[in-house]
Amino acid sequence: MRTVLNKTYRKNIWREMGHAKSRFISFFGIIMLGVMMLTGLMSVGPDMRRAQRVYFEQQNLFDLRVVSTLGLNEDDIEAIAATEGVSAVMPVKSVDCTATIQKSDVLTIRVQQLPPDPTAETEENMNRVVLLEGRMPEAEGECVVAAVGTGSAPAIGSVLTLSGAEDALPAETLTVVGIVQDPLHFSIDSDSSTAGTGKLNLVAFVADGSFTADYYSSCYLKVADAAQYEYGTDQYTDAVEVVSQRLEEISETQSARRREELIDSATAALEDAKEEFAQKEAEANEQFAEAEAQLAEAEQRLDAALAELNAGEAEYSAGQAQLNQQKNDFPGTMSSGAEEILNGQEQVLDFEDQLQQIKLLVNLKKVADPMLEYAEGILENARQALEDVEPDDQEYTELRDLLARAQNLYDNTYNQLASYQAQLDEGKVQMYQQGLISSPDLSNEQLVTEAEAALREMKLALLEGQLALNTGNATAWVSFDQAEAQLAAARSKLNAGWIEYNEGAAGLETAKEEFAAQKQEAEAQLAEGRKQINDAEEQVAKIESGEWYVLDRGTVTSIATFEQNADRIEAIARVFPAFFFLVAALVATTTMTRMVDENRLQMGTLKALGYSNVSIASKYLMYGLTASLLGCIVGMVIGFVALPLVVWNAYATVYTLPTFRPVFYPGLAAAGVLLSVAVVG
C-alpha cells in the first residue's frame, strides 16, 4: 500500500482545493473570525489595563488616600509617613466651591494646591498633571484647569470668580493660565462634590502657598511593596491592604488628638471672639450714646435756629410795618414841612414889611427930629418975639397966630414922632419876644441893624428849610429804597434760613431714621454675634472624634468605571469567540462531510491504486489545516492590531489615556492556533 504522497497526488490535492475556492474561502473566513474575536476581544481588556498601568506609572498615581472628617494636620501627616510600608506621602489642600466665568452659569469646582514643583520626577509628587496648553501657575490668583465630565475647560485668560472658598483661599478670583489633564479625572464620568449642585464640573490647580487653611483635606501616599506588582493583581491588592489596615489602626488615636487640638483651638478662638464681641459691643454702645448726643445737639441747634428764624420773622414784619407806616406818613410829613416853609415865607414877608415900616419910621423920625427941633426953635423964637411985642401991638396978633401955628406944628410933629417911637417900641417888644433882637431897649439904629440881621437869618433858615425839605424828600425815598432792599435781603436771608432749617430738619429726621435703622441692624448683628458665640460653644461641646477613610484607587470614579468597562470587555471575550468557534466547527464538519461524500468514487479509485487510508485522509486534513492556518494568521493580525484599536477608539470618546498600545500575547496566539486545529480535527 502506498503511504507517501507523491507529486501527482499532491497536485491533485491542490487542484481539488482550487476547484472548491468558495468552500475554502468560507472555511478560511469563519476560522479568521473566530481567531480574530478570540485574540481581539481577549486582548482588549489586558491592553486597556496595561495602558492604565503605564499611565498610572507615568503620572505616579497614588496607592492609598487618607481622608478625615476633621481634616489632617501636620501630626497626622507625620504619623501617616511613619507608618510601616509607606514610602512617600503628598498632603493636599483643596476646597470645593462654586465659580462663575465672566457672569456665565455657576460651576461647581474643586480648587487644589499643587506641590512646590509640579513637574518633579519624585515619588512624593503624585498624580502629576499633564500640561496641555499654556503654562503652570506661578503667582497667587493664577490657576490651571482640567474639565470634569462632559464639560469643556474654560479658555486661557478666563477669570473665575469664586464663592464659598473664603475661609481656605484668600483670592476671590483666579485667572486661567493653562489647561491640564488630571490623571484622577481621565473619563467623562462626573465626580461628586460638597458644593453647588453636588456635581463637579471643573478642577482648578493653584500654586503652592495659595491656601491659608492650616489643615489638609487629604493625604495621598505610595505603598513601598506595591511598586513591585502590577496594579490590579492580587499581590498589589494584598500589599496595599496591609498598609491600609495599619493606617486604620492609628486612625483612632490620631483622630482623638485631632479632636483635642480642634477643641483647644476652637476654645481659644471662642475666647478671642468673646473678647472681641465684648469690645465691639462696648464700642457700639459708645457709638450709640455719641450718636444720640449728636442728634440731641443737632435738635437743639435746630430749635435755636427756629427761634432765631421766628425772631427774624417778627423783626422783619415789624420793619415792614414800620416802612409801610413811614411811607404812609411821608406825604403828611412832607405836607407839614411844605406848610412850615410857606409859613416861614409868610413870616419873612411879614417881617420884611415890618422891617420896611421900621426903617420908614426910623427914617421919618430922623427927618422929623430936626423938624421938631426946628419947630421948637421957631416956637421959642415966636414966644420970645411975642414976649417982646406988646399985646396991643399989631404984630402981636400976627406973632400970636404964628406962635399958635408953630405950637400946633410942634405938637403935630411931636405927636407924630411919639407915634413913630411908640410903633418902634412896640415893634421892639414884639421882635424881642420873637427872639429876633437881643433887647427891647435897643436904639432905633440898633433895631434896624439887628432886624436886618434877623431877616437875613430868617431867609437863610427858610432856604435851609427848603433845602432840608427837598433833601429830606430825596433822602426819605433813598431811605425807603434802602429799607426795602434791607427788608428784601432780610427776606432772602430768612428764606435761605428756612430752607436750611427745613433741610436740617429733614436731615435730622433722616439721621434719626438712619440711626434707628443702624442701631437696629447693629443690635441684630450683636444678637447674631451672641447667637454665633452660643452656637460655637455648643459646636465645640459637640465636637466628636473624627474618622479616617483609607481609600484606594478603586474609589476614583474614572478608575472604577474604567475597570468596569474592562471587565465587561473580558466578559464578552469569554462568550463571543466560543460562539464563533462553535460555528466554525459546524461549518468545518459540514464542509468536510460533503467533500467526502462528493469524492467517494475518487477515494475508491485511490484505494484501488494502493493508497492507504492515511494518504487518502491527508488530502482532507491538508485542506482543512491550510484554511485554518491561513484564517488563524489573518485573524491574529486583525485581532491583535485592528480590533483593539477599533474598540479603543470607541472608548476614546469616554476616556483619555494616551498610553494605549496594542500588544501581542503569545498565549492567546497559541490558543487560537490550537482551537483552529481542533476545529479542523
pLDDT for res 600: 59
Using the predicted structure, report yes or no on whether residue 675 has a pLDDT greater than 80.
Answer: no
SS3 487: helix
pLDDT band, residue 153 (cuts 50/70/90): confident
Using the predicted structure, report yes or no on whether residue 3 has a pLDDT greater than 50.
Answer: no
Cα separation of 446 and 439, whole Å? 10
Which residues on adjacent β-strands are paired with residue 312? none
Using the predicted structure, report yes or no on whether residue 64 has a pLDDT greater than 90.
Answer: yes
Cα separation of 505 and 138, whole Å? 58
Using the predicted structure, report yes or no on whether residue 8 has a pLDDT greater than 60.
Answer: no
pLDDT for res 266: 72
Question: Between the CA of residue 148 and those of 77, 99, 355, 521, what are the distances in Å?
Answer: 28, 14, 133, 43
Q: What average pLDDT does the structure give for the chain?
A: 77
pLDDT for res 500: 79
Contact 186, 558 (CB under 8 A): yes
pLDDT band, residue 358 (cuts 50/70/90): low
Dmax of the chain from CA atoms? Answer: 261
Lowest mean pLDDT among 40-54, 499-513, 606-620, 655-669: 606-620
Phi, psi of 324 (to 5 degrees): -60, -40
313 exposure class (CB count in 10 Å sphere: 0-12, 13-18, 19+): middle
Mean pLDDT of 264-270: 76
Cβ atoms < 10 Å from Cβ of 232? 16
Using the predicted structure, report yes or no on whether residue 6 has a pLDDT greater than 60.
Answer: no
Cα separation of 112 and 666, whole Å? 44
Percent of the chain with pLDDT over 90: 15
Mean pLDDT of 629-649: 77
pLDDT for res 633: 79
Helix (H) or strand (E) holding 243: helix 234-388
DSSP collapsed to 3 states, 76-130: HHHHHHHCCCEEEEEEECEEEEEEEECCCCEEEEEEEECCCCCCCCCCCCCCCCE
Using the predicted structure, report yes or no on whether residue 80 has a pLDDT greater than 80.
Answer: yes
User: Closest Cα to residue 149, out of 113, 106, 114, 192?
Assistant: 192
Cα separation of 326 and 331, whole Å? 9
pLDDT for res 388: 67
Cell numbers that stand for 300 in this block: 437743639
pLDDT digits (tens, 9 = 90+) for 419-451: 766 776 777 677 777 777 777 777 667 766 776
pLDDT band, residue 292 (cuts 50/70/90): confident
Contact 137, 129 (CB under 8 A): no
Cα separation of 82 and 75, whole Å? 10
pLDDT digits (tens, 9 = 90+) for 337-352: 566 666 666 666 666 6
Using the predicted structure, report yes or no on whether residue 2 has a pLDDT greater than 50.
Answer: no
pLDDT digits (tens, 9 = 90+) for 189-219: 888 888 888 899 899 999 998 898 888 999 9
pLDDT for res 43: 78
pLDDT band, residue 17 (cuts 50/70/90): low
pLDDT for res 63: 92
pLDDT band, residue 84 (cuts 50/70/90): very high
Mean pLDDT of 52-58: 87
Mean pLDDT of 308-325: 77
pLDDT for res 593: 64
pLDDT for res 1: 43
Sorted by sequence, the CB contacts under 8 Å of residue 82 that are 6+ apart come out as: none
